[in-house]
Amino acid sequence: MQFRYVVTGLAVVMSLAGCQRTSYDYNSTPNNNPGYTPPLQAQPVPSVQSGALPPPGAAAPGQFPTAPAGGAAPGGVNVASAAPATALDVTKESMVGNWRVSNGGASCDMFLTLTNLGSGSRGGTRGCAGELSSMGSWEVSAKTVVFKNRSGDTIGRVYKTGTTRYDGTTNIGQPLSLSR
Q: Which domains does the chain have, with CATH numbers?
A: 95-179 (2.40.128.10)
- 180, 97 Cβ separation under 8 angstroms: yes
- Please give the Cα distance from 134 to 151 (Å, whole number): 9
pTM of the prediction? 0.56
- What is the share, in percent, of the chain residues with pLDDT greater than 70? 73
**12-69 pLDDT tens trace:** 777 776 665 555 555 555 556 666 677 777 777 777 777 887 776 665 555 555 554 4
pLDDT, average across residues 130-134: 90
Is the CB of residue 142 less than 8 Å from the CB of residue 168?
A: no
